Amino acid sequence: MTVLRTMFLSAASFLLVLAVSPGRAADGVSLTTDNEVVLTPEERATVLRGKIVLRTIPSPGRNGRTYEAIGLIQGTLEEAMSVLTDFERYPEYMPNVSASRVCERVEPCSVIETTLHLPLGVKKQYRLRYTGSREEDGFRLSWEMMPWPELKPSNAIADTSGFWLVRAFEEGGLIVVYRVYTDPGHVPLGLKGVAQGMAKRKIPDGIIKLRERVRSVFGPVAR
């Protein structure tokens, strides 16, 4: 029973990390919009220290949870966009991603099939459509889940969507928003709250891994 409980927790915690729902948090703080990254003075100080801001985004009427991480990375917009749209290399740095296959690429959209290998041998898969849009001082990469009828229900999740938003930061570097909604489907009774708490703590890893990947591919930032 202990092994089964750990397996359920491991799978659920990662799946809940995996839309877009602009609005206001419970404390009234304005959230990221399509065109702007909004930070409180305290959050701004946090990202300038190299830390990650983590937010829970209201998802009224939905079964899943939405989280948002915000942090700074060093590099150019072109470098960040190159890394984020190189989907086939996600297994080299994205947490738990073991396979990523490009099924279709017709700009600005790409259809990607992803396989996750989670602790204790749990495997989950999903098919996403990514849509990219470039702006003068940034870019956005959104995704939504697509049907995959051939997939075994035991390997699937109920729903996921979200986006990366990357913009030039006035004090140097790039400000990155990573927002993710996931409904993992059935979670065993009594484990959902624990799994959600674990999932929330993992969200900042997305920005941390992106930060590390950009620098490992393109080298140190020139001073």
What would the pLDDT profile of 29-57 be if each residue is shown by its tens digit? 445 655 678 999 999 999 999 999 999 99
| pLDDT recorded at residue 46 | 97
Superfamily of domain 2-218: START domain (3.30.530.20)
Domain range annotation of the chain: 2-218
Strands (DSSP E) along the chain, which ranges? 53-57, 65-73, 97-106, 109-117, 123-135, 138-146, 159-168, 174-183
Q: What's the predicted TM-score (pTM) here?
A: 0.82
> Whose CA is closest to 219, among 72, 76, 71?
76
Residue type for 36, please?
E
Give me the residues paired with residue 53 across strands.
70
Q: What angle do helix axes 192-202 and 2-15 make, rounded to 10 degrees? A: 50
* Predicted confidence (pLDDT) per residue in 111-167, tens digit: 999 998 876 677 889 999 999 999 888 999 999 999 999 999 888 988 999 999 999
For residue range 70-119, what is the model confidence (pLDDT) as tens digits? 999 999 999 999 999 999 999 999 988 999 999 999 999 999 999 988 76
